[in-house]
Amino acid sequence: MSTNVEKLYQKYKKSLLKKKEAAEELNISVATLDRLRNQGLIKSKKIRGGVFFTITEIASFIGE
């Protein structure tokens, strides 16, 4: 497991982040995160109408 993934898991104690949490970790707005998602630059999962991001995907986008 990579360092950023471990740090994110320790911080949130879960493997999926809500849009707001993911945006905060990437230091971008939720609107920018939505734009990146719609452009296919970051992968997300839809669960019961909500949009979530795996900590692995967030760490990968950060640069791991």
Q: Domain limits at 48?
A: 3-62
Question: What total number of domains does the chain contain?
Answer: 1
Query: Which tens digits make up the pLDDT trace of 8-23?
Result: 999 999 999 999 999 9
Cα distance between residue 34 and residue 38, in whole Å: 6
Cα distance between residue 35 and residue 40, in whole Å: 9
With bands split at pLDDT 50, 70 and 90, how would you rate the model's confidence at 1? low
> Any idea what the CATH number is for the domain that residue 38 is in?
1.10.1660
Give the pLDDT score at 64. 53
Beta strand segments in the chain, E: 16-18, 45-47, 50-54
Q: What is the pTM of this model?
A: 0.88
The candidate with the shortest Cα–Cα distance to 16, out of 38, 43, 41, 37, is 43
- Percentage of the chain beyond pLDDT 70 is 95
